[in-house]
Amino acid sequence: MKRYLSYKDEMKRLEDMLRDIPTDEESINEEDEEINDDEIFSEHNSSSEDDLDSDEDLYESTDILSQNCYVGKDGTKWSKIKNRQNVRIPSHNVILKLPGNIGDAKKVSSVLDSWQLLIDDSILLNIVACTNKFIETIAHNFDRDRDAKETSIIEIKALIGLLYFGGLHKSSHVNVKDLWATDGTGLDIFHRTMSQKRFLFLLRCLRFDDITDRAERKQADKLAPIRGMFESFVSNCQNCYTVGEYITIDEKLEAFRGRCSFRQYIPNKPAKYGIKVFALVDSRTFYTWNLEIYAGKQPDGPYKTNNSGDEIVKRLTEKLANSGRNLTVDNWYTSYNLAKDLLKKKITLVGTIRKNKRELPKEFITGKNREVHSSLFGFQKHMTLVSYVPKKNKCVNVISTMHYDDSIDPSTGDAKKPEIITFYNLTKGAVDVVDEMSANFSTARISKRWPMVVFFSVLNTAAINARVLLLSAKSQTAVKSRRHFLKELALELIKEQIQERSTQLSLPRKLRQQLIEHCSPSQDSEPPKKLQKCSQKKRCHICPSKKDRKSAICCTRCNKNICSEHTIYICKECE
C-alpha cells in the first residue's frame, strides 16, 4: 500500500531536494544515459520527479517552489538555480570528425579542380543533353542550321565562364550589347569567347531536365525542372567537405519576379520577391553544406513534405546526427520541442525564441519594469533559457542546449551580455554572409524562367565553396583573393572554347588573329632564328583578299602564310 507524506514532510523533502547539489563524480556525460528534459533539478530520481510534475496545484501554491522556479503557460518548469558545472565536455558536444576537405577534395591543387568537384562533368553533360533536346524542338523555327546548332560541354563551360566574368565586373544587369561592344567600351573576352547572338541563344535554350516527360513529373513535383541538377550539386558539396562544430540554418531569397507558384514575398530582404532557399552553412568558413528549395505545398506523393520550421531543420541536419555539432537558428525555427529532439541526436541548439511559446514563463516575455542590460536565467537539466533587456521595455529570449550557466561575457562591458547572447551573435549570420558574397559577384541575369534563377544561385554557391576547398587543401599554400579566384576560374572555363574557336576559318580574320594571340605562348619565348618555309604557296592571311599577296613564308607560331610586309627580320646581334 502506497504511503503518502504529510504536508510538513513533503515541504521538508522539497527543501532537501533544492539543497542537494550533486558532486562532480556523478557525471551525466555517459552516452547511454537517457535524456529527460522534464527534470528541473540535477540527478533527481525519476519517481520523485514524476510526483512533482503531476502535482501542479501544489507547485503553484507553494512558496518555496515559486521562489526557486519559473513556470511557463503549459506548466514547463525552469529552475532559478543553475546546474552544477561539468568537468568534462558533454557527450553531445564531442566532435568525432575533424572539419575540412574529405575524399578527392584533399588533393585539390587548382582553381578549376576545386570547382569541378562541385559541378562535375556528369552535371554538365546532363545539361548539354537536355539543352540539345530542347534545341531540336525549336530548330525548325530558324532558317539557317548554324543558328540552332547543338551545344557541347566545352561551350557550356565557356558560357558559365562568361557568367562568372559578368559577375566579376558587376555587369550581371548590364545590357548584353554593351558587353559585346567593339568600340573599346565592351569586354574583349566576351567577343572572343562566343558571339552575342550565340550567348543569348544558349541562355534561352539552357535546360536541366528532359522536357519530353517533364509534364508527367511535374504532377508529383513542382521542382521537376531543376531537381536532378540541384540534388547532384548538394550531394557533391556534402561529399567534399566536413563542416566544423558550429553551423547555421537560415533562409535566403533569390531575386525573381516572374511566374512561379512558390514565389515568396519577404519584405525585409533586399529583393523582396523571389525563390526561397533554406541553407545550412558552416559558421566559420561559410561553406554551404546543405540546401533545400521551398516549393510550397507539394502534390501528394514522394516529394510532399512538412514545411514547418522544426521539420526543415530536421531534414537539413539529418546527415549530421550524432556528430556533436551546435546549430544556431533564429526564432522562426526555434522551439522547445526541436531543442529536445536535436539533443537526442547529439546536436545542440542555440536560438532566439518567440515570446508566444507556451513554455516561456511570464517573467521572460516582457521587458517592462526591468533594468536595462539585466538578464533572467531559467535552467533545466540539459537546457538554459535567458531573457536579456538590451534597451528599455524590450527583451530578447534565447534558448540553448549548449550552455549550462549564467555567465556574463566580460568583453561586452556595460552591456553585460550573457555568453549565450554573445555566442548567438557570433554564429547567427553565416547564411547572410554567404548571401552577401554571392550578391557581390553574382552570375545572375534577368530571366523569366525560375529554374535559371536556381541555376545562377548554384553557380554563385559553387564558386564560394570551391574557394573554401582550395584554401583548406593541404597542398595549397598561397591564399587567393576572391576576385583573383573568380578571374582564374573564368579563364580556365573558357580556355578550351577559345582554342577550338581559333581554328575556325569562317571567323573574321581580325578576330581569328586575336584568338591566336590569346592562345599563343608568352612573349618571353625565344624569337625564331630563321624563316620557316611553307609546303605550299598561299595568300597572306593578314592582307585583305583584294591584294591577293601570295607567299611561301610561314609564321613559326601559327603556321599561317605571311607576306614580306608582315614579316619581322631580326639580326643575329639583336637576338
114, 209: one domain: yes
456, 477: one domain: yes
Element (H, E) at 532: strand 532-539
388, 451: one domain: no
Beta strands in 96-199 (DSSP E): 100-101
398, 462: one domain: no
The pLDDT value given to residue 563: 83
89, 142: one domain: no
105, 190: one domain: yes
Return left, alpha or beta for 109; rule: phi > 0 is left, psi -120 to 50 is alpha, else beta: alpha
Task: Give the model's confidence band at 159: pLDDT under 50 very low, under 70 low, under 90 confident, else very high.
Answer: very high
In a domain, 420, yes or no: no
| Strongest mean pLDDT among 300-309, 453-462, 520-529 | 453-462
In a domain, 470, yes or no: yes
For residue 308, give the DSSP letter.
S
Task: Give the model's confidence band at 95: pLDDT under 50 very low, under 70 low, under 90 confident, else very high.
Answer: low
Residues with Cβ < 8 Å from 323, sequence gap 6 or more? 95, 96, 97, 346, 347
- Say whether pLDDT at 336 is over 60: yes
Q: Of the residues 364, 384, 415, which one is the last residue of a structural domain?
A: 415
| Strongest mean pLDDT among 35-44, 168-177, 271-280 | 271-280
In a domain, 74, yes or no: yes
Query: Quick one: which of 401, 382, 269, 389 has its CA closest to 334?
Result: 401
Query: Quick one: which of 272, 116, 138, 318 has its CA closest to 211?
Result: 138
Q: Which cell goes with 368?
A: 517592462
The pLDDT value given to residue 476: 59
Q: Of the residues 352, 382, 415, which one is the last residue of a structural domain?
A: 415
Task: Give the model's confidence band at 574: pLDDT under 50 very low, under 70 low, under 90 confident, else very high.
Answer: low
Q: How many domains does the chain have?
A: 3
Q: How far apart are CA 114 and CA 485, in angstroms?
A: 11
Residues with Cβ < 8 Å from 122, sequence gap 6 or more? 232
Q: How far apart are CA 292 and CA 277, in angstroms?
A: 6
In a domain, 409, yes or no: yes
Q: What is the dihedral of CA 394, 399, 404, 407, to 10 degrees?
A: -20
Query: Quick one: which of 554, 556, 525 has its CA closest to 540?
Result: 554
Residues with Cβ < 8 Å from 367, sequence gap 6 or more? 389, 392, 393, 394, 395
409, 471: one domain: no
Q: pTM for this one? A: 0.78
Look over the chain and give the mean of its residue pLDDT values, rounded to a whole number: 83
Q: Of the residues 350, 380, 415, which one is the last residue of a structural domain?
A: 415
Q: Which amino acid is at 529?
A: K
- Say whether pLDDT at 522 is over 80: no
Q: How far apart are CA 216 and CA 45, in angstroms?
A: 58
343, 449: one domain: no
Which of the residue ranges 26-30, 150-154, 197-201, 512-516 would you say has the lowest mean pLDDT? 26-30
354, 459: one domain: no
pLDDT 10s digits, 203-258: 999 999 999 999 999 999 999 999 999 999 999 999 999 999 999 999 999 999 99
In a domain, 284, yes or no: no
140, 205: one domain: yes
121, 41: one domain: no
Percentage helix, strand, coil for the chain under 3-state DSSP, each rounded to 5: 40, 15, 45
Is 143 strand, coil or helix?
A: coil
In a domain, 531, yes or no: yes
In a domain, 569, yes or no: yes
107, 186: one domain: yes
Task: Give the model's confidence band at 538: pLDDT under 50 very low, under 70 low, under 90 confident, else very high.
Answer: confident
In a domain, 125, yes or no: yes
pLDDT 10s digits, 245-302: 999 999 999 999 999 999 999 998 888 999 999 999 999 999 999 999 999 999 999 9
Element (H, E) at 215: helix 214-218
Domain that holds residue 166: 101-216+438-500
